[in-house]
């Protein structure tokens, strides 16, 4: 089939899509035990794409039992590492071969532009799976230097059954950041996708079977957070939860763990990332483009969004002119049009939430420079203009709370020390950036910023080789890189007496 090149092509492809809408347990699709379903609504036009089986505690229990059986009989964890590697590589290859289909599912389901769902989401997801596949037979265990009377082996062992709970902003990529290391280390998984975006995870599970990953290893239960998500968090036979989502729900998973079996919890939560532009910014045009992309990419629905722009007062007006010009080029459009760079908000609830923050910004006295309106309402979809507020102070609601939409708060500062103080004055610590020509400032500020990722003279640079995660209430534990494998393994020390 030829690659679609226009919105019409994509719509034609969408009309013939075969959508997987059932729970996937033990290698098979099935209805929910309750028989219930929920509407899967496309934010592009507000239409119902399909009915999805609504999993709850009974389905989570069935999925965990299937995952446990697969783990205990060793069908995956005891497979020769070379074979596990091949299966995961095949899964990555299948994802690449199905790039258009997966991209289309992602765009229809959560509204991001089709140009990014293929070139960014599917590619990065497949690359993540193949990178961890490669790691399977490259990571060695340890022998401790204990002396001649004994030998102490330090080995990493898979935890068992991992519950993977993910959000809707990068549905497939967030799942793959966890699936890659969890499966590579030999675990079985139960994925609970966000109710707003279950479709790619359901398709991925089927591709995993085609790739040779045994039935029962990779299960997917779509459903709501307060039912299916909670049941996974409270399940007595789940060994760990790998969560990405809001800080509020992350805290609940800590509680679920305490109320049940003390399962391990890894949390990738929210952010309110400071993007600092010093007066000696090396290239104002590049920095301004980066500042706009940092907040408006993916409709602002990005955990690392540079949502607080801290600009040296002496260059602020000139700099903001350039940021606004970039924002102007990022107006929302039809997500299925290959040229569109800003798509739809995920649903009506998120749209209302973002619009409420825009109203709060106005009410608190911030100066609306551009945007601020819901647009394209005649499509039936959910679109919001790129919005910039100037003269924001760091104690305003729009500077303190994660909006998760295309809303930028601009905060002026007078000295680098003041910039760092404002930057760190937040409950979050996921990411931060600083633009400066001075190498001492670059090092000093990046050392002082309390964030899991700091960018100097760039924003959103990303590679699977680097760990990703937060300080403070942005969570703990790391996705990506070899460090992520620590989340899915236990360390065992085995003493062998040589005396
Ligand atoms: P959310 O916390 O509402 O939902 C995330 C997942 O948790 C979903 O699958 C949801 O069904 C489930 N859930 C919701 N309520 C639950 C409950 N009571 N019990 C158990 N599970 C429950 O987040 P969201 O709105 O889907 O996504 C946006 C959030 O995700 C933002 O805060 C964003 O910053 C964060 N995020 C973080 C990262 C990161 O890597 N740090 C990446 C992407 C998104």
The predicted model gives 48-72 an average pLDDT of 98
Summary mean pLDDT of the chain: 98
pLDDT one-digit tens code per residue, 76-131: 999 999 999 999 999 999 999 999 999 999 999 999 999 999 999 999 999 999 99
Q: Does the CB atom of residue 223 touch ligand 1 within 6 A?
A: no
- Of 40, 247, 249, 297, the one to substitute when testing ligand 1's pocket (max ligand atoms within 8 A of C-beta) is 249
The pLDDT of residue 1 is 67
Q: Are 250 and 226 in contact (CB under 8 A)?
A: no
Mean pLDDT value of segment 59-63: 99
50 Cβ inside 6 Å of ligand 1: no
- The residue to mutate among 173, 201, 245, having the most atoms of ligand 1 within 8 angstroms of its beta carbon, is 245
Residue-wise pLDDT for 250-294, tens only, equals: 999 999 999 999 999 999 999 999 999 999 999 999 999 999 999
Residue 476 has pLDDT above 90, yes or no: yes
How far, in Å, from the CA of 140 to the mean position of ligand 1?
Answer: 34
Predicted confidence (pLDDT) at residue 236 exceeds the cutoff of 80: yes
List, for residues 22-53, the tens digit of each pLDDT value: 999 999 999 999 999 999 999 999 999 999 99
| Catalytic annotation, residues | 268, 303
pLDDT at 150 over 70: yes
Residue 164, ligand 1, Cβ within 6 A: no
Instruction: Give yes or no for residue 333 having a pLDDT over 70.
Output: yes
Kindly indicate the confidence band of residue 2, based on its pLDDT and cuts at 50, 70 and 90: confident
Between CA 64 and CA 477 the distance in angstroms is 23
Contact between 145 and 195 (Cβ < 8 Å): no
**pLDDT at residue 318 above 80?**
yes
Q: Whose CA is nearest to atom 34 of ligand 1?
A: 270
In whole angstroms, what is the distance from residue 462 CA to residue 460 CA?
Answer: 6
Task: Assess contact for 76 and 217: CB atoms under 8 A.
Answer: yes
User: Please, how many CA atoms are within 13 Å of residue 154, restricted to the half-sphere of its CB?
Assistant: 9
Q: How far apart are CA 32 and CA 227, in angstroms?
A: 13
Do 63 and 205 touch, CB atoms closer than 8 A? no
**Sign of the torsion formed by the C-alpha atoms of 52, 54, 59 and 60:** positive
CA of 230 to the centre of ligand 1 (A): 12
> Ligand 1: which residue has its CA nearest to atom 26?
167
Cα distances from 454 to residues 312, 408, 449, 460, 463, in angstroms, run: 19, 19, 8, 9, 14
pLDDT value of position 361: 98
Beta bridge partners of 48: 41
- Residue 3's pLDDT band (boundaries 50, 70, 90)? confident
pLDDT in tens, 413-450: 999 999 999 999 999 999 999 999 999 999 999 999 99
């Amino acid at each position: 089939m030829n690659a679609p090149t226009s919105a019409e092509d994509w719509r034609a492809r969408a009309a013939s899509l075969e959508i997987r809408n059932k729970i996937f347990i033990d290698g098979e699709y099935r209805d929910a035990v309750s028989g219930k379903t929920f509407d899967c609504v496309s934010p592009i036009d507000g239409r119902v794409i399909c009915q999805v089986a609504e999993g709850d505690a009974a389905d989570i229990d069935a999925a965990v039992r299937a995952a446990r059986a697969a783990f205990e009989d060793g069908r995956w964890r005891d497979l020769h590492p070379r074979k596990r590697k091949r299966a995961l590589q095949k899964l990555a290859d299948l994802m690449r071969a199905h790039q258009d289909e997966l991209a289309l599912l992602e765009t229809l389901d959560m509204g991001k532009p089709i140009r990014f769902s293929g070139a960014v989401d599917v590619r990065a997801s497949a690359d993540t799976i193949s990178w961890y596949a490669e790691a399977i037979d490259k990571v060695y265990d340890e022998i401790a230097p204990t002396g001649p009377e004994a030998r102490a082996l330090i080995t990493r062992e898979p935890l068992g059954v991992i519950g993977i709970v993910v959000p809707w902003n990068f549905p497939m990529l967030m799942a793959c950041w966890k699936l890659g290391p969890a499966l590579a280390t030999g675990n079985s998984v139960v994925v609970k996708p966000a109710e707003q975006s279950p479709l790619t995870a359901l398709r991925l599970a089927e591709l995993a079977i085609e790739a040779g990953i045994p039935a029962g290893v990779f299960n997917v239960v779509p459903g709501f957070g307060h039912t299916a998500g909670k049941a996974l968090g409270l399940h007595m036979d789940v060994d760990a939860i790998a969560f990405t989502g809001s800080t509020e729900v992350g805290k609940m998973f800590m509680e679920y763990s305490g109320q049940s079996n003390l399962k391990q919890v890894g949390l990738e939560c929210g952010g309110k990332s400071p993007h600092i532009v010093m007066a000696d910014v090396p290239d104002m045009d590049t920095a301004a483009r980066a500042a706009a992309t940092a907040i408006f990419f993916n409709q602002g629905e990005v955990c690392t969004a540079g949502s607080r722009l801290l600009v040296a007062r002496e260059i602020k007006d000139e700099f903001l002119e350039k940021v606004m010009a970039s924002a102007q080029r990022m107006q929302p459009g039809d997500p299925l049009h290959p040229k569109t760079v800003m798509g739809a908000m995920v649903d009506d609830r998120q749209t209302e939430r973002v619009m409420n923050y825009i109203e709060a910004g106005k009410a608190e006295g911030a100066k609306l420079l551009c945007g601020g309106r819901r647009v394209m309402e005649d499509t039936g979809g959910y679109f919001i203009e790129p919005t910039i507020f100037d003269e924001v102070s760091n104690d305003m609601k729009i500077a303190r709370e994660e909006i998760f939409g295309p809303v930028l708060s601009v905060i002026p500062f007078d000295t680098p020390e003041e910039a760092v103080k404002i930057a760190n004055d937040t409950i979050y610590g996921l990411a931060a950036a600083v633009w400066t020509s001075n190498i001492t400032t670059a090092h000093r500020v990046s050392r002082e910023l309390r964030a899991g990722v700091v960018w100097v003279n760039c924003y959103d640079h990303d590679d699977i080789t680097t760990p990703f995660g937060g300080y403070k209430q942005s969570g703990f534990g790391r996705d990506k890189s070899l460090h992520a494998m620590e989340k899915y393994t236990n360390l065992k020390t085995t003493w062998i007496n040589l005396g």
